Structure 1
Amino acid sequence: MSITKSGIITIAGRPNVGKSTLTNALVGEKVAIVSNKPQTTRNRICAILNRGDAQFVFMDTPGLHKARTRLGDYMVKVVKESVCDVDAVMLLVEPIPHVGGPEAELIGRIKELGVPSVLVINKIDTVKKDELLEVIKVYGEAHDFSAIVPISAKNREGLDDLLGVLSGFIPEGPQLFPEDMVTDQPERQVCAEIIREKLLLCLDKEIPHGTAVEVTRFSERDDEIIDLDATIYCEKDSHKGIIIGKNGAMLKKISTLARQDVEKFMGTKVFLQTWVKVKENWRDNANLIRNFGYRDE
């Protein structure tokens, strides 16, 4: 079936509500990194799904939080700008019968812009039906949403209903991206993000939030093996020691997990080499933030 309509839909919500899990579930591939730590997503990530006659372009945004660094300011700016100039906004919330500060702020943006909005209540596998009805009632009083759809992104429950609702907001028009594309992120950026996801998975407390990953080499050999060199930057010497681990064990674990996921994403064998360097306070250095791929444009 040829594509006759296409549209851009933002996925907004507070940190750790499941935006990246939902993005990956909708497109059926890993395009956004996932962890159980808040503020995992730093950039706006665009994921593409062709379904029937429609092309859905989903924008997974960082969670709306109080910024404490320049990187934090950048992330908040990305969220606020992502609600502008789109065909619809999904506000993803947890099944709690209370409108929190970040949700109220995003509802305010939605009201200001007058965009169609769908309230998506995630993690419905964790609550009973009467609790869910209470959540629907509370949010229904806060804003006149175009639709309310309960889902479980983790269990892929309610996703068909959600896509059915969203297709009603997508305008007629040519497709925005080629048929076989699942994300607009350059491959090296996806690889850097996968490495960062493993840092979030394997390391505790603040350390992974103070890391950035720069891919310094990304080249394909004649036999299609990809050579990938990556530098992990952290903010303190003590953090560097923890990332490398005793006899290099932690860095080896992070690199192995990352390589496995990169190979799945690239569909070929990958030879990955990683280094760790210290760049103090990089999260407050505008030039370094840009160097690590967090750009305003």
Structure 2
Amino acid sequence: MSEPTTDIGSATPVPAGFRSGFACFVGRPNAGKSTLTNALVGTKIAIASSRPQTTRHAVRGVVHRPDGQLVLIDTPGLHKPRTLLGERLNDLVRATWTEVDVIGVCLPANQRVGPGDTYLVGEIAALKRKPKLVAIATKSDLVSAERMAQHLLAIAAMEAELGIEWTHIVPVSATSGEQLPLLADTLLALLPEGPPLYPDGEITDEPEETLVAELIREAALEGVHDELPHSITVVVEEMGLREGRDPDKPLLDVYASMIVERDSQKGIVIGHRGSRLRDIGAAARSQIEAMLGTPVYLDLRVKVLKEWQRDPKHLRRLGF
């Protein structure tokens, strides 16, 4: 048996056979990728919504285990782009594919395998360097055993159709927790041996400002008109603990702006006499406090940045 190694820059011994590496979840919009990422990491790091194209950047979540470290990358859904932002999100997805050890393809059990799934897996099959592939039948709690059997057969048939090989096909439910441990075991076993990539206890490398902005956007997405979700982004202008407070009674000040593309959208987000804006603020504040464990004062404004999704200068300024 080989001796434990020590991680560079750390005094912590690494057990023999320790595995570490990257896996990403891909799938059509609303396939359950973000919910699955949060469930495996054990805390909320990626926002989830019934709205398509909710995820807008690659969010890394770290799963720490005695036998390895699994870094999960939640990516935007690959889609037919209608804006420059959409094109850049698709580029981000494809770039992520080239950097990971394993790709988990999310195929919701309550939907039939369709042309969008076939196109997505076909794009992965065309990569020069092919990561290992795991098929994940998400939302298993929503279907009967008979329907699941049909779904698994359809997933298996993609191998011959597309010239790929699934290393595993795993039904899973992120909401009920069904087979989550099996999925974690499966992904970890496919990673190379190596030392931890992140310090113990670190669950994401996302800056707190980014996580806060995403929680505000998640709150804003609930109940809005169909065309509006794509037009909303959030910028945290300033964030910090209020000075002069008793250390036992901290208060985090957050000043943030929700950016929309048209004046009419600004009116929708604000709502009648500011009612919708207050609801968004209350929902976001409770989520931010739960994540950071600190009482929060949230100052939320709405600004118009015309056609920001199509303007390279605006996209750069907003971090896309």
TM-score, length-scaled by structure 1:
0.94
Q: 1:214 is matched with which residue? A: 235
Q: Structure 2 matches for 1:108-147, cutoff 5 A?
A: 108-111=122-125, 112=127, 113-143=129-159, 144-147=165-168
1:89, 1:174 → 2: CA distance? Answer: 21
Q: 1:57 is matched with which residue? A: 71
Q: Could you tell which deviates more after superposition, 138-147 or 63-72?
A: 138-147
Secondary structure, counterpart of 1:253 in structure 2: helix
1:98 CA drift (Å): 4.6
Please, which runs of 5 or more residues in structure 1 have no aligned partner? Answer: none
Q: Could you tell which deviates more after superposition, 22-31 or 98-107?
A: 98-107
2:186, 2:232 → 1: CA distance? Answer: 38
Q: How far does the alpha carbon of each residue in 1:124-152 deviate from its partner, in whole angstroms, 9 at most, with x for none?
A: 12222222122212221212200000011
Secondary structure, counterpart of 1:146 in structure 2: strand
1:100, 1:281 → 2: CA distance? Answer: 32
Q: How far does the alpha carbon of each residue in 1:42-72 deviate from its partner, in whole angstroms, 9 at most, with x for none?
A: 1111111102221110000101110000111
Q: 1:88 is matched with which residue? A: 102
1:97 CA drift (Å): 7.5
1:101 CA drift (Å): 2.8
1:153 CA drift (Å): 1.2
Q: How far does the alpha carbon of each residue in 1:248-267 deviate from its partner, in whole angstroms, 9 at most, with x for none?
A: 11101101110110111111
Asked which structure has the greater CA Rg, the reply is 2
1:13 paired with 2:39, answer no
2:196, 2:77 → 1: CA distance? Answer: 28
Which amino acid in structure 1 is aligned with residue 51 of structure 2?
Answer: K
Q: Structure 2 matches for 1:1-297, cutoff 5 A?
A: 2=14, 4-95=18-109, 98-111=112-125, 112=127, 113-143=129-159, 144-222=165-243, 223=247, 224-294=250-320
1:204, 1:191 → 2: CA distance? Answer: 23
2:192, 2:154 → 1: CA distance? Answer: 30
Residues 202 and 254, structure 1, Cα contact 8 Å, conserved in 2? no
Coordinate RMSD, CA, aligned:
1.6
Residues 51 and 229, structure 2, Cα contact 8 Å, conserved in 1? no
Residues 269 and 277, structure 2, Cα contact 8 Å, conserved in 1? yes
Secondary structure, counterpart of 1:178 in structure 2: coil
Runs of 4+ in 1 over 4 A off after TM superposition: none
Q: How far does the alpha carbon of each residue in 1:2-25 deviate from its partner, in whole angstroms, 9 at most, with x for none?
A: 563211001000000110100111
1:221 CA drift (Å): 2.9
Please, which runs of 5 or more residues in structure 2 have no aligned partner? Answer: 1-12, 160-164
Secondary structure, counterpart of 1:77 in structure 2: helix
Counting matched residue pairs gives 294
Residues 266 and 302, structure 2, Cα contact 8 Å, conserved in 1? yes
Residues 35 and 48, structure 2, Cα contact 8 Å, conserved in 1? yes
2:136, 2:291 → 1: CA distance? Answer: 28
Q: Could you tell which deviates more after superposition, 2-11 or 82-91?
A: 2-11
